[in-house]
Structure 1
């Protein structure tokens, strides 16, 4: 007579999560180690090596100034990840704080905060980002700030919903009854229960932040030359598609790969942390 398998055997091991996390860790590690891994200086020009295809000297070829494409992609990946991580982290800090405060205090605080978030949320992502950069000026720092402002209402609305439920739970009411401060209740009782939601949303928004950053750089509003940027490389390479398409092709593939890795990791993480999807 067959016996029921134990719960640990019935549950699928998180192999996919390990694979997704490995891809993400490898991508971040390569970006951080760009000064050590890159075979050439990303800014070094060579007139004699302009628009060359992949070969032994330059594994991915060169651009219109004779700069090594592999080196520029590695440094561009580093810049894109830094901007995206910084933007999403700042958006989480500001938007998450506003969402928690509005859910905890309710009343006029919630109404004012959420109406401001609704105004920001009403603008299309790219239009609002372009408008902010038009005021602050182009550059890597302003690009990160623009993306952070665009994503702030997303985190505010995301954390407000579950925070409303947690704020009315028995253990929060008990903490209030014994005189615990509001900051202690939010930090020790409400915020830890939202960790899974925060992790999943951060990984998913990182993938879209990479695309937004690349789009702004493609339009000339993001990272400014001569600093390498994947979006800027794609924009410059489109002018030489018939002569040497390698700059546009490889930079586009790099954007596709890093966005896919982040989105894949976010999807797998959501499946593992959400008990309804197990």
Structure 2
């Protein structure tokens, strides 16, 4: 609590992201309407007392669909980044711990994945596996795995040469115990900051895939899908496209802000500038 009082930006970022996450988790209770319910008389109508953010081309409430779209976007992004952190982080720590030929093989494999543009690689994976939310999560996880591997390998190289790691080796601790109990905890700050920043990026990639019809499939609400559908009616009723685009912006902004605030709080060099 003292940290939050001394870091108002961190407190604001945590609250900002927490509100959106809670709305996504409890979307069924928070949303004023069923996101699939159609009100034909309200088709393409602007904001009103009945529909605060207007209605789309099928008369579905835009606000309700945005709230449920937050749930879809966060679910895909959290699953993808979590899987990428687990696989990529493990590979990075293993490469730093053993070095030698293991390090060279793992990092060259990561370099191969790095050679592909992020969105093109994700599109290629979804094209092979088929368009749906689960394959979008797999595609994003594959794209972000080398990022976590390279990110954690650098500081892990330093930690693996520290005195306490050498001492653990000297007393006969197993390699797995050393990596889990001594190396990984000292990378927690790097993991937290990069995870929040990559979640923001994953939101944009997921929205891009859904916009192209390769992510969440209709009629399930998705922010990218809403933006894609709404662009066809920009001249008649821009509300669906405008508000879904704003929702993507707000969600990505909150996670970016949280990442920056965490970096400022956890980096000892920046803490010394207070």
Q: Deviations over 1:95-137 (max 9, x none)?
A: 0000011110111111110000000011110010000001001
In 2, distance between residues paired with 1:67 and 1:26? 24
C-alpha RMSD of matched pairs (Å): 1.0
2:72 matches 1:74 = no
Distance 1:39 1:15 in 2: 32
Residue of structure 2 equivalent to 1:168: 161
Matches within 5 A, 1:216-255: 216-255=209-248
Aligned residues: 268
1:5 corresponds to: none
Structure 2 equivalent of residue 94 of structure 1: 87
- SS at 2:6 equivalent: coil
Instruction: List aligned pairs for 1:1-278, cutoff 5 A.
Output: 13-278=6-271
Q: CA deviation at 1:168?
A: 1.1
Q: Based on CA coordinates, which of the two structures has the bigger radius of gyration?
A: 1
Structure 1: segments with no counterpart, 5+ residues = 1-7
Runs of 4+ in 1 over 3 A off after TM superposition: none
Which whole-Å CA distance do the structure 1 matches of 2:7 and 2:231 have between them?
41
> TM-score, normalised to structure 1's length?
0.95
What are the superposed Cα offsets for residues 71-114 of structure 1, whole Å, 9 maximum, x if unpaired? 10000011001111110000000000000111101111111100
Structure-1 separation of matches of 2:168 and 2:270 = 32
Partners of 1:22 and 1:207 in 2: CA distance: 16
Distance 1:208 1:26 in 2: 19
Per the TM alignment, residue 46 of structure 1 is displaced from its structure 2 partner at its CA by 2.2
What secondary structure, in the 3-state scheme, does the structure 1 residue paired with 2:214 have? Answer: coil
What's the CA shift string for 1:229-274, capped at 9, x where partnerless? 0000001000001110000000000000000000001001101101
CA distance in 2, matches of 1:57, 1:18: 34
**1:195-246 deviation per Cα after TM superposition (whole angstroms, max 9, x unaligned):** 0000000000011100000011001101000100000000100000111000
Report the Cα offset of residue 44 of structure 1: 1.0
Distance 1:179 1:196 in 2: 28
Post-superposition offset of 1:38: 0.7
CA distance in 2: counterparts of 1:121 and 1:56, whole angstroms: 49
State the TM-score, normalizing by the size of structure 2: 0.96
